[in-house]
């Protein structure tokens, strides 16, 4: 990856992704590994590549992503967010279709905290009258 066009940061749950895009033929690596090796689920890979498909630039850019924190689902969402933001920086005309598809919106849902005196966030110990 020689000439980086743009880079952006994406977030989802507790995962943070930094993405760099450069002109190329569609190579994609996550944490210096092949995408299929890092994300074994086809559904997560499809979700991650959604901004590229919407913009119609699947084979135009090489993408390098660095992800940390969270699980695989959160990391895939963070990479998707970062790719969409980087594409907008590279080409301002792509902003409208990516925004209407919801790719530029940061998914703010977080894990709810565990409450004191209870086994989980929503779970309650079984009530016993006697």
Domains, the chain, ordered by start = 4-100 (3.30.230.10)
CA triple 23-77-81, angle to 5 deg: 50
Give the pLDDT band of residue 1 (cuts 50, 70, 90).
low
- Cα-flanking dihedrals φ and ψ of residue 126, to 5°? -65, 130
Distance between CA atoms of residues 83 and 101, nearest Å: 13
What sign has the CA pseudo-torsion 42, 48, 53, 59?
Answer: negative
* pLDDT tens-digit readout, 62-79: 999 999 999 999 999 999
pLDDT (tens digit per residue) in 20-56 = 999 999 899 999 999 999 999 999 999 999 999 999 9
pTM attached to this predicted model: 0.90
The enclosing H or E element of 63 equals: strand 61-68
């Amino acid at each position: 990856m020689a000439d980086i066009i743009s880079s952006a940061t994406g977030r989802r749950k507790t995962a943070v992704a930094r993405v760099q895009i450069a002109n190329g033929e569609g190579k994609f690596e996550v944490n210096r590994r092949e995408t299929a090796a890092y994300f074994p689920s086809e559904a997560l890979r499809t979700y991650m590549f959604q901004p590229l498909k919407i913009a119609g630039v699947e084979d135009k850019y090489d993408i390098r992503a660095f992800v940390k924190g969270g699980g695989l689902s959160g990391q895939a969402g963070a990479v998707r967010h970062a790719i969409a933001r980087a594409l907008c920086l590279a080409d301002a005309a792509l902003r409208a279709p990516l925004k209407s598809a919801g790719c530029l919106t940061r998914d703010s849902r977080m894990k709810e905290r565990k409450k004191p005196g209870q086994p989980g966030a929503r779970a309650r110990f079984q009530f016993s009258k006697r």
